[in-house]
Chains A and B, each alone.
Chain A
Amino acid sequence: MSVTVENVSQLGRKLTIEVPAEAITKDVSERLQKLAREARLPGFRPGKVPLKVIRQRYLKPVTQETLANLMQSSLMSALEDKGIKPAAYPKVLPVDLEKYEEGQEFSYQVELDELPKIELATLTDVAFEQPQVEITDLDIHTVLERMREQNPQWKAVERACQDKDKVMMDFEGSIDGELFPGGKAEGFGLVLGSGGMIPGFEEPIIGMSKGDEKDITVTFPAEYHAKELAGKEATFKIVVHEVLEPALADLDEAFAQQFGIKEGGMDALKKDVKGNMERELKMKINTQMKEIVFTKLLEMHAFDLPVSLLVEETANMRRLLEQGAANSLKRPGLDAITEDNLEEEANRRVHLGLLIAHIIEAKGIKADMNRISERIFEMASVYEQPEQIAAWYLQNENARKEVESMVLEDQVLDWILSEAKITDKPTSYKEVMGLDEKAEK
């Protein structure tokens, strides 16, 4: 077997592989002999077909099979011989197997991208700042306040209702004087300004007081989900029974119970909230550190990227984008992926993927089984039946691989952090979580 390598571009290689005639002939006759032992042909007892007849009949298909097979095996050994590590599966240029004639040598060409050579830079001089956060009572207090705002207690008031109030009422809707199904309710509670009803329903209600009655006319939006109502004008007869005003709930046992705390009242709730905050914080710091560290890593290691991988990744991302899964592509804290920055992002992904793979291989990092199962249970706990989901992850090869790669990424991060200089940076909870920005919005 002779192999010629041609450098097409920085990483692109074109191999011409020639398989000698003897190798082919030998393989073909071996196959024919094997076939002769079991072939069934009319006019012959099984296995008694002479090789000559077999040859006459099966030479062509067997030869083609042999060639297809040899292309596989010779490609592997050719790559090994030349010490080429392909970045993706090599692309075999089409050959016409039909044209091959017995006793000739067979040659074909493949195109591939070589894996770039990566020199791992020393990380010991690199410094990262690791946020150190202490969750203060004030932070917990802020969270509790927000929970209070979002879960107000309703107090009946004797005045005309206004925005943010809750109105208890009956309504009865009709179109052209006829009642329509689903257009009637009694004792219905509507929070004004919540947008829970069709547009134009809430506005006329504002200003009504307890005991008031009123007919309002509302047009259903054209794209309303119930076809027979869409775009129609309906009249609702409204009777207001009660006007309620939101009030901040007391931070007491009843409040705690709203959030599923059965015993221990406020102290237990606080503990629960703190636990949640810590978990969120940990995840947030992890993703932030990952972003910072990996960006730094990419800056330190510049190398050519295999074109084939770039093309593949771009196509993948574009497909996801078209499916409307843009969010799954988004890196936390950055703008959404669009057609404009797609290629740049694909570039980064391939770059990072190769780097991480290199570190994993060079440093012999193995996925930690404990961390994998920990991660699986963590992910599963969000679902209704965590055990089933976890079991599925453990059994399904592909799903487990996915988790494994996530864990490996984390382990690479750990390794980098253990190499690099880490300075602790005292940070507040708010800063890490970016709560201040949110409040402004």
Chain B
Amino acid sequence: MNKERLMNVLLSPSVTEKSSRVGDMGQVVFKVIKDASKPEIKKAVELLFNVEVDAVRVSNVKSKAKRFGQVQGRRQGWKKAYVSLKEGHDISFANADK
């Protein structure tokens, strides 16, 4: 797995009611690129935040159908990754933007 690819895997943290709820249980939620794999995400988080990752679960967030006047359109879908950190590890987003 090359480093350049890993740097591009994570898009942004996801800041929502659900993500702050699971955050209390040692999980961190990210938006990741569409074709990222679990091992890739694990490596990427460990590389960027200098923590140890226990496990990664992913889900594909379906795109939403939107209509602008008569034009039917579709929003981009995205991949969401729930990253469980090992005991004693934490990520602070104090200076990160969403």
Contact = CB atoms under 8 A, between A and B. Distances in A.
Range of interface residues on chain B? under 10
Interface residues of A, number: 10
B14 A56 contact: no
A99 interface: no
B17 A48 contact: yes
A56 B93 contact: yes
Contacts, number: 18
Interface in B4-37: 14-17, 19-20
A229 B17 CA distance: 83
B17 A44 contact: yes
Contacts of B93: 56
Contacts of B19: 43
A43 B94 contact: no
Contacts of A56: 93-94
Contacts of A44: 16-17
Contacts of A45: 17
Nearest to A50: B20
Q: Is the interface of B mostly helix, strand, loop or mixed?
A: loop
B49 to A, nearest CB: 16
B43 to A, nearest CB: 26
Contacts of B16: 43-44
A53 interface: yes
A43 to B, nearest CB: 3
A49 B19 CA distance: 11
B30 to A, nearest CB: 14
Interface string A32-65: 0000000001011100111011001000000000
- Counting chain A CB atoms within 10 Å of each CB, which of B15, B16, B19, B93 scores highest? B15
Most buried by A among B14, B17, B19, B93: B17
Contacts of B14: 43
A173 B29 CA distance: 96
Contacts of A52: 20
A52 B93 CA distance: 11
Interface in B70-98: 93-94
Contacts of A53: 15, 20
Nearest to A56: B94
Interface string A49-90: 110110010000000000000000000000000000000000
Interface string A105-121: 00000000000000000
Nearest to B18: A43
Nearest to A53: B20
A251 B52 CA distance: 116
A50 B21 CA distance: 9
Interface centre among B19, B20, B94, by most A CB within 10 Å?
B20
A319 to B, nearest CB: 48
Contacts of A41: 15
B67 to A, nearest CB: 21
A53 B17 CA distance: 10
Contacts of B20: 50, 52-53
A43 B20 CA distance: 10
Contacts of A49: 17
A192 to B, nearest CB: 85
18 contacts: A41-B15, A43-B14, A43-B15, A43-B16, A43-B17, A43-B19, A44-B16, A44-B17, A45-B17, A48-B17, A49-B17, A50-B17, A50-B20, A52-B20, A53-B15, A53-B20, A56-B93, A56-B94
Interface of A: 41, 43-45, 48-50, 52-53, 56
Given A41-B15, A50-B20, A56-B94, 15 more contacts: A43-B14, A43-B15, A43-B16, A43-B17, A43-B19, A44-B16, A44-B17, A45-B17, A48-B17, A49-B17, A50-B17, A52-B20, A53-B15, A53-B20, A56-B93
In the A-B complex, the 3 residue pairs with the smallest Cβ-Cβ separation, listed nearest first, are A43-B16, A50-B20, A44-B17
